[in-house]
Amino acid sequence: MNFEYFFYIVAKPVITADNKDKTTQYGKYGNSAEITVNVYSIPKYSKIHWFIGNTQLVSSRYVIEEEPAKVKDIFYGIEVQLDGYRVTLAISDLQENDFTNYTLRLDHDSQFVQHEVTLESASAPETPTNFTLTGSGETSISVRWIPGYDGGQKQMFYLEYRVTGTDAWLPQEIKTSSQLDMHNHYTLSGLQDKTSYELRMYAKNKFNQSQHTDFEAIQTLEK
């Protein structure tokens, strides 16, 4: 049987226990995102500040909001529900450098409490650019490309190929550099000689995958 307890406790600002699963929050590149933190405070905190490192966020891209909320904390080993607040930092037009650590600071008289939240990207990686077939051998084809933005997560590259005139694409995972603006190279081997192939590529991270590049065609050499 589950019980809910309602308490009124006098306390300086407390970052409540229901934040434990929200130390990492997510947004998508180019979109808006909200970072939320639940707080209990009686009397109420006097000021709200958000920081990246030692820099206080004051740009119009950042909007600080608060609203009353039911929050949960642990009191003498018992989970209790309290009348608290939800503090929100809204960020518009997320860019790559927005995916970082944010610190909430709540002032109370001459004291303050702080809480750190990491904003991570949940975006798909960008489609690789400059995908080019650089040559072929009897049983191999060489390609190169430039990685796009990884979406804030580690990305892998997948080369897909098929014999011209067939439908099924065969995937080949590629482990290589994700450094932006740097050409990557890979040679696909184990192919048939004197055969026309079509190849394309995409990138993938733990959240999603990019669009495919346009396919390119080339023929392997005769043995």
Check: CB of residue 12 under 8 Å from CB of residue 113: yes
The SS3 call for residue 44 is coil
Provide the 10 A C-beta neighbour count for residue 48. 19
CA dist., res. 13 & res. 27, Å (int): 27
Q: Which two tokens stand for residue 53?
A: 């490192």
Check: CB of residue 72 under 8 Å from CB of residue 124: no
Give Cα separations from 141 to 15, 153, 191 (angstroms).
Answer: 57, 29, 8
Rounded to 10 degrees, the C-alpha dihedral 72/207/120/16 comes to: 10
Q: What is the pLDDT of residue 195?
A: 98
CA dist., res. 204 & res. 208, Å (int): 6
Q: What is the pLDDT of residue 6?
A: 52
Give Cα separations from 72 to 4, 6, 31, 69, 82 (angstroms).
Answer: 10, 10, 30, 10, 6
Q: Which domains does the chain have, with CATH numbers?
A: 7-121 (2.60.40.10), 129-219 (2.60.40.10)
Q: Which two tokens stand for residue 218?
A: 């080339």
Residues lower than pLDDT 70 in the chain: 1-11, 177-181
Q: What is the pLDDT of residue 153?
A: 87
The SS3 call for residue 51 is strand
Q: Which helix (H) or strand (E) holds 160?
A: strand 156-163
Q: What is the pLDDT of residue 181?
A: 67
Q: Which two tokens stand for residue 81?
A: 């529900």
Q: What is the 3-state secondary structure (H, E, C) of 79-138?
A: EEEEEEEEEEEEECCCCHHHCCEEEEEEEECCEEEEEEEEEEECCCCCCCEEEEEEEECC
> Does the predicted TM-score (pTM) go above 0.75?
no
**Among all chains, which residue has been given the structure tokens 């939240």?**
117
- Nearest in space to 87 (alpha carbons), one of 52, 53, 119, 117: 117
Sheet holding 141-146, edge to edge: 129-136, 141-146, 184-188
